[in-house]
């Protein structure tokens, strides 16, 4: 099986950016990590460790902060802990999980590799770097431990997987769209400009990008609830709003799918009714 990997790096407004890619049979995935003011934000994937290592070794890093526990964000954490002896910080919700042998589906191990256990410390509501104070903003929905990082001095916001793309078409089974809406609503109330997304990369007008995603999800939520209240079953709502079928749904045996968007909206709506 031929897997093609790639890596690019650049610097934008004092932020060092490493971008690794994995491609197989028409499916191409990518992930970014960022370095600014001595802070490394996310660690890339284990499958791309050979690509990320030289980038990380050439950076001047004091500490590592992680947006959430998923393996494409924590894959090189063990290397950073053991070889570079860097302290790692993240939300406390998945600390124990990260310290153990990971358990996730084979297709994810194929693309992102098998993450090694690592030990992280609990991050606070804020933290300090060499020249800045950072806000740690809890932003669950994609993952229960998801956080975003805002550099108060520069107004640069690092959003992990909160954005990814403007018009979400598929999500993981455990994701919750109403919770993501709440997280986006919380974030856009902060004072920031540029956004650095773990998958979309650099968003120059980050506030507008996040607002467009929020507007899209709110509209999608409204359409879903209306169709449901009109008597349409969830499966039909899914095919109505998302007629296209995406390769990742088949590849993941349904762990990724459009139906999870509809189901999460209806479940939350039913709870409130």
**Per-residue confidence of the chain (273 residues) as pLDDT tens digits?**
588 999 999 999 999 999 999 998 878 899 999 999 999 999 999 999 999 999 999 999 999 999 999 999 999 999 999 999 999 999 999 999 999 999 999 999 999 999 999 999 999 999 999 999 999 999 999 999 999 999 999 999 999 999 999 999 999 999 999 999 999 999 999 999 999 999 999 999 999 999 999 999 999 999 999 999 999 999 999 999 999 988 889 889 999 999 999 999 999 999 887
Q: Residue 7 has which token pair?
A: 């890596």
Angstrom distance (rounded) from CA 121 to CA 91: 8
Which of 18, 33, 131 lies closest to 73, judged by CA? 33
**pLDDT tens column, 190-236:** 999 999 999 999 999 999 999 999 999 999 999 999 999 999 999 99
Cα–Cα distance, 2 to 124 (Å, whole number): 42
Burial label for 115, CB within 10 Å (0-12, 13-18, 19+), is: buried
* Residue keyed to tokens 């290397």: 79
| Torsion region of 40: left, alpha or beta (phi above 0 gives left; psi -120 to 50 gives alpha) | beta
The SS3 of residue 108 is: helix
Q: How many CB atoms lie within 10 A of CB 132?
A: 17
Query: For 130-147, how does the pLDDT look when each residue is reduced to its tens digit (9 = 90+)?
Result: 999 999 999 999 999 999
The SS3 of residue 209 is helix
CB neighbour list of residue 72: distance below 8 Å, 6 or more residues apart:
29, 31, 44, 45, 112, 198
Between CA 142 and CA 106 the distance in angstroms is 20
CB 138 within 8 A of CB 147: yes
Domains in the chain: ranges and CATH: 4-272 (3.60.15.10)
């Amino acid at each position: 099986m031929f897997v093609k990997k790639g890596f690019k790096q650049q610097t934008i407004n004092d932020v060092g950016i490493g971008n690794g890619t994995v491609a197989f049979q028409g499916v191409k995935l990518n992930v970014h990590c960022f370095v600014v003011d001595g802070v490394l934000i996310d660690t890339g994937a284990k499958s791309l460790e050979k690509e990320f290592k030289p980038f990380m070794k050439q950076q001047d890093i004091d500490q590592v902060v992680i947006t959430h526990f998923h393996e494409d964000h924590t894959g090189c954490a063990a290397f950073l802990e053991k070889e570079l002896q860097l302290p790692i910080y993240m939300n406390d919700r998945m600390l124990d999980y990260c310290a153990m042998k990971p358990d996730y589906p084979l297709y994810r191990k194929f693309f992102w590799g098998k993450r090694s256990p690592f030990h992280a410390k609990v991050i606070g509501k804020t933290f300090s770097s060499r020249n800045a104070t950072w806000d740690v903003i809890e932003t669950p929905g994609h993952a229960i431990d998801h956080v975003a990082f805002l550099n108060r001095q520069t107004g640069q916001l690092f959003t992990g997987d909160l954005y990814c793309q403007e018009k979400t078409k598929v999500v993981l089974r455990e994701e919750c769209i109403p919770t993501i809406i709440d997280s986006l609503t919380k974030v856009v109330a902060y004072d920031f400009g540029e956004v650095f997304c773990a998958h979309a990369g650099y968003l120059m007008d980050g506030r507008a990008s996040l607002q467009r995603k929020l507007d899209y999800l709110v509209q999608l939520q409204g359409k879903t609830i209306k169709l449901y209240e009109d008597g349409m079953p969830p499966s039909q709502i899914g095919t109505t709003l998302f007629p296209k079928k995406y390769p990742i749904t088949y590849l993941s045996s349904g762990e990724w799918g459009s139906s999870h968007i509809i189901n999460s909206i209806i479940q939350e709506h039913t709870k409130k009714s």
